[in-house]
Amino acid sequence: MKILVANIGSTSLKWRLFDFANGGERLLHKGGFERVTDYPKAIEDCMMELKNAKAIQDENELNAVGFKTVIAKNVTGCVRLDERVLQAMADYNGLAPAHNPPYITGIKLFAQRVPKVPLIALFETAFHQFAPEASLRYAVPESWNQIGIRRFGFHGASHKFIAERSAELLGRSDVAERAKQLYVHGHATKISGAPLRVISCHLGGSSSVTGILNGASIGTSMGMSPQSGLPQNNRVGDLDAEAIPYAVKTFGISIEEAQRQLTKESGLKGLSGISNDVREIADAAAKGDAKAKLAIDVYTASARHWIGGYFLELNGADAIVFTAGIGENRADIREAICANLENLGIKLDAEKNKSVRAIEAEISAPDSRVKIFVIPTNEELVVARETKRFLENRNN
């Protein structure tokens, strides 16, 4: 079974082609284009590259194209992309303005280009859909809850990959196997052995921390939109509900302008006044720039806040996992996040931590009760696996 996973940005197309033949999981091809101006051509070029590489002979050899879609109104999980689902995504364009519109456009173009190939979506909200109700609710009137003002959570494919892989690394194949069934069975909290408690820190251009019990999400730092939780690259993260009306009145700006500033001029960029990229901010901080140092400190404090919340919720942790651009590459930020936690049994191996970059590794000290891992995430593989499961269930 050959499944193409297409990652669509407003000006980029990246793909990975997986082959699940003979019970295996093989990456056949990966590629992508940046600064795309002609999307139909980019899709055409993608098909051409797949053929030139002999990964496929013909588009119709693809069993499906899978998409890591973000959010849709009243739709989550892994679903076939049809007009109803595309409309549900469009209904929430406002919640994910950087993601939903390009995905809708891209999916429609794929539908034109490969009309016989099923197009399947795995929503980023899916992994959190079975978290306890108390962790998904805002304390708003019921009528607000009814119109969907509640926490959905995001980065589901990444946190799910971490849930499965961390269980394997911790020698808990029972939980890893259970986690792999998750989207089918929902709650994965009933297992026979000791509970497995993992805190997954997806730290990148956009960041979230998730508490994972026995392979299932019990809550996550992002809420109704990806515009919450930790400070993001240029998005604000958590903000008091009164702040927007106050800024609108004080500056005499529109709600739309306030939204623009909170989604384009805030987060690490707003705090540092330098960049939305941690590499540039850290360089400036090292040269003594106070705002850059503050940006890193706010980010680190927020990550610790959420890790602490799930540490309590899970009654401790078997592992804390760092993943995504910052989590995989920035030893300095991992060190700052894990500083002074010895009393909680969380202790980095400082030297090991410094040596690990973009590879899977344990970075905790031998006497740390909580294991600390770096695990490069593999969201595309999760999308491909779920797409495969969707096709198999449909055929049953």
Strand order in the sheet with 208-213: 216-220, 208-213, 197-202, 319-323, 371-374, 361-362
Distances (CA, A) of 108 to 34, 111, 161: 20, 5, 28
Closest CB to ligand AMP among 10 and 189?
Answer: 10
Minimum distance, C-beta of residue 388 to ligand AMP, in the bound complex (Å) = 25
The reply to whether 277 sits near ligand AMP by the rule CB under 6 A is yes
Single out the residue of 275, 302, 299 nearest to residue 289, CA to CA.
Answer: 275
The reply to whether 172 sits near ligand AMP by the rule CB under 6 A is no
Single out the residue of 115, 2, 110 nearest to residue 50, CA to CA.
Answer: 2
Minimum distance, C-beta of residue 233 to ligand AMP, in the bound complex (Å) = 6
The reply to whether 376 sits near ligand AMP by the rule CB under 6 A is no
63 Ramachandran zone, left/alpha/beta (phi>0; psi -120 to 50): alpha
**Which residue's CB atom is positioned nearest to ligand AMP?**
325
The reply to whether 217 sits near ligand AMP by the rule CB under 6 A is no
The reply to whether 324 sits near ligand AMP by the rule CB under 6 A is yes
Amino acid letter, residue 28:
L
Backbone dihedral angles phi then psi of residue 371, each to the nearest 5 degrees: -75, 145
149 Ramachandran zone, left/alpha/beta (phi>0; psi -120 to 50): beta
For ligand AMP, which stretch binds (CB under 6 A), given 64-72, 80-88, 273-281, 381-389? 273-281
Single out the residue of 171, 173, 207, 210 nearest to residue 362, CA to CA.
Answer: 171
Q: Candidates 278, 346, 383, 384: give the one binding ligand AMP (CB under 6 A).
A: 278
Euclidean distance between CA atoms 381 and 143, whole angstroms: 38
Closest CB to ligand AMP among 164 and 328?
Answer: 328
Closest CB to ligand AMP among 159 and 330?
Answer: 330
Minimum distance, C-beta of residue 85 to ligand AMP, in the bound complex (Å) = 26
For ligand AMP, which stretch binds (CB under 6 A), given 48-56, 86-94, 322-330, 379-387? 322-330
Closest CB to ligand AMP among 165 and 330?
Answer: 330
The residues that touch ligand AMP, with contacts defined as CB under 6 A, are 204-205, 277-279, 324-326, 329-330
